[in-house]
Amino acid sequence: YFGGSAKILDDMKERDILPCESDINGAIKSDNYELIIQYYPLGWFDLLNRFEFGGPVYFFFYTAIGLTICLIGGSVYGINRLLTKFRHPPPFQGWQLVALVSRPQIEGVILAVIPYMVVVSTIHTLFRHDGVLQFDSLHKNWMGSGSIGDVEEVENAMGRMGSAFLVLGSYITLKGSSSIIIGDETSKNDHVVAKRAHFIWASLCLQAMILCLLEFSYSDSYKNDIYRYVVMFKFGQIAFDVILSHVIRDKLLIAPLLVLIQMSEILVTIGARDFVEFTLSFLVKISLIVVQRLFIYPFIHTILTLLPRWNLLARHSFGRKALTRKEKKQREARWKKVNENIELQTEGVEPLVDSITIYSVEKTGGILLPFMCLFLMLLYRETEIAMNYNINQHELLYYGTFAFYMIIWTCIVDIFVLSSQEVLYGWRVYD
C-alpha cells in the first residue's frame, strides 16, 4: 500500500516487495503480513558516504585525493618542462615559490575572517531563540496579540537574526566599496560616488544570481549530473570574468566579485549526492583550474589583445580604398599605436599580473571554503543550505576538514602550475 507514494512503490518493487492487495473501496483485504529482515554488506564507498569509519581512514582518503591532484599538477609540469621551447628554462623553485605567493594570501584571509567570525558568533549568541537577548513578548507583526508559542518564538528569533545579518552584509558592502574606491570625501567627487554606486549595484546583482545558483543546486537534476554542471559553471565563471573585466576595467574592483563567484562555485559542489561524489567533483574542478590557468585564460587574453589589430585590418580591407595623404598618415599612426599597445600587453608584465590575479581568486575561494562549512554548521537551521543538501551538522564536519586539509595540497598544485607557466610562456613569476 505504502500510502500511494509512487517513489516508495518503485523502491519496494526493486526489492521484490509488492503492495498489499486492496478491495474496490481501497481498503486492505487482510491485515496478515510476513516480516522479512534482510542483511547485506555495504561497500567501502557506501561506508565512506555514511561516515562509518574513524578519523584515520578519512585522513588516508584525504591524503589519497591530495596525492592525486599533486600527480595531476606534477604531470602537467613535467610535460611542459620536456616540451619547452626555451633553451635555458627557469629552474623549479618549489616551496620558495609557495612562501612568496601563498603565505601572504593565507595570512590575509585569516586576518580578514577572524573579526567577521567574531561578529557572526556574537549575533548568533545574542539573537537565537535561547540567546542572551530574549524577546518573548514581542510578536513578529503589529497586529499580533496573546501569548507566543514555541514555533513562533523560534521563527521570530530567526527573523531577528536574519535582519542582523542583512545589516552586517550591507555595512560590509558599503565599507568595502569605500575602502577599494578611494576618493577625497571633502571635495564630493561625483565620479568616485558614481563608481562606488556602480560597484555596489554590480555586487547586489551578482548576489541575486548566486541565490538563483544556490536554489538550482538543491534540485535533483543538479545532483544527478553534477560533473556536467561543474564544467558548465567553470566556463560560466570565465565568461563572467571577461564580461566584468570589459565593463569595470579594473582588476582590483572585479577581484572581490570573482572571489564571490569562486566561493559559490565551490560551495554548490557540496550538493553532490554523497561525500565520495563531492571529492570526485573536487578532482574535476582542480583539473579544470589547471587547464584554465595554463591554456584557456592565456588564449582569451591573446584574442582580446589582438582584437584591435583584427578590427583595424577589417576596416582597412572593407573600407574606402582611395585615401588622401593626410588620411594615410592617420591610418599609419593608428596602426603603429595599436601595435605598440599589443607589444606592451604581451611583452610587459600584463600577462603575469593577469596570471597572479586569476591564481589569487582561485586560491582565496579555496581557503574560504572551510570557514563557509563552519558558518553552515553554526547557522545550520537558520540558513537551511546544508539541510537542503540532506547533510547534517556532523557530516558537515567531514566536508570542512576535507576542505581545510586540501589547502596544503592545492598549494603544491599551485607550485606546479606557476612553474609550468614559467617554462610554457617565459613568465618569471619568482623573479
328 pLDDT exceeds 90?
no
What is the rounded CA–CA span in Å between residue 418 and residue 101? Answer: 10
pLDDT band at residue 68 using 50, 70 and 90 as cut-offs: very high
Angle, alpha carbons 304-239-281 (nearest 5°): 130
Q: To the nearest whole number, what is the mean pLDDT of the chain?
A: 84
* Higher per-residue confidence, 46 vs 353: 46
Q: Compute the distance between CA of residue 387 and CA of residue 381 in angstroms, rounded to an integer.
A: 8
Residue 274, C-beta contacts closer than 8 angstroms, at least 6 positions apart: 49
The Cα 322–Cα 178 span in angstroms is: 53
Higher pLDDT, 140 or 119: 119
Cβ-count burial of 119 within 10 angstroms (0-12 exposed, 13-18 middle, 19+ buried)? middle
pLDDT of residue 58 exceeding 90: yes
pLDDT at residue 216, rounded to an integer: 93
Bigger pLDDT: 43 vs 350? 43
- For residue 97, the model assigns a pLDDT of 80
Strand intervals (E) in 217-324: none
Give the confidence band of 84 by pLDDT, cuts at 50, 70, 90: confident
76 has pLDDT over 90: yes
- For the entire predicted model, the pTM comes to 0.83
The residues, ordered by sequence, that sit 6+ positions from 113 with a Cβ below 8 Å of its Cβ are 368, 371
Would you state the pLDDT for residue 180?
85
> What's the pLDDT tens digit per position in 401-417?
999 999 999 999 999 99
The C-alpha atoms of residue 227 and residue 218 are separated, in whole angstroms, by 15
**Confidence tier at 210 by pLDDT (50, 70, 90):** very high
Give residue 127's identity as a one-letter amino acid code: F
Which pLDDT belongs to residue 348?
62
According to the model, what pLDDT value does residue 4 have?
58
Give the pLDDT of residue 405: 94
Q: 150: Cβ–Cβ under 8 A, 6 or more apart, which residues? A: none
Backbone angles phi, psi at 164, to 5 degrees: -65, -40
- Reported as a pLDDT band with limits 50, 70 and 90, residue 231 is very high
CB 212 within 8 A of CB 263: no
Q: What is the mean pLDDT of residues 117-129?
A: 88
Question: In whole angstroms, what is the distance from residue 332 CA to residue 74 CA?
Answer: 47
Cell reading at 360: 589569487
Q: Could you tell me if residue 158 is left (phi over 0), alpha (psi between -120 and 50 degrees) or otherwise beta?
A: alpha
Counting residues of the chain whose pLDDT is more than 90, the rounded percentage is 29
Amino acid 370: pLDDT:
92
Instruction: Name the residue among 307, 306, 300 with its Cα closest to residue 354.
Output: 300
pLDDT for res 160: 85
What pLDDT sits at residue 146?
64
- pLDDT of residue 143 exceeding 90, the answer is no
Q: What is the pLDDT of residues 297-316, one digit of tens each?
A: 888 888 888 888 888 888 87
Give the residue-averaged pLDDT of 346-370.
Answer: 82
141 versus 398: which is more confidently predicted? 398
Residue 65 scores a pLDDT above 90? yes
pLDDT of residue 137: 66
DSSP H or E stretch at residue 66: helix 55-82
Which pLDDT belongs to residue 185?
55
- Cα(274)–Cα(269) distance, rounded to whole angstroms? 10
Q: Residue 3: pLDDT band by 50, 70, 90 thresholds? A: low
Name the nearest CA neighbour of 96 among 403, 406, 425, 431. 431
pLDDT at 1: 46
- Locate all alpha helices (DSSP H) within 218-250, ordered by sequence: 220-224, 226-248
What confidence category does residue 115 fall into, taking pLDDT thresholds of 50, 70 and 90?
very high
pLDDT at 268: 92
Planar angle of CA 198, 175, 187, nearest 5 degrees:
70
The pLDDT-based confidence of 62 (bands split at 50, 70, 90) is very high
Whole-number pLDDT of residue 140 = 67
CA distance 357 to 258: 10
Amino acid at 182: I
| pLDDT of residue 83 exceeding 70 | yes
403 and 369 Cβ atoms separated by less than 8 Å: yes
- Specify the range with the lowest mean pLDDT, choosing from 16-25, 81-90, 361-370, 418-427: 16-25
3 state SS for 85-102: CCCCCCCCCCHHHHHHHC
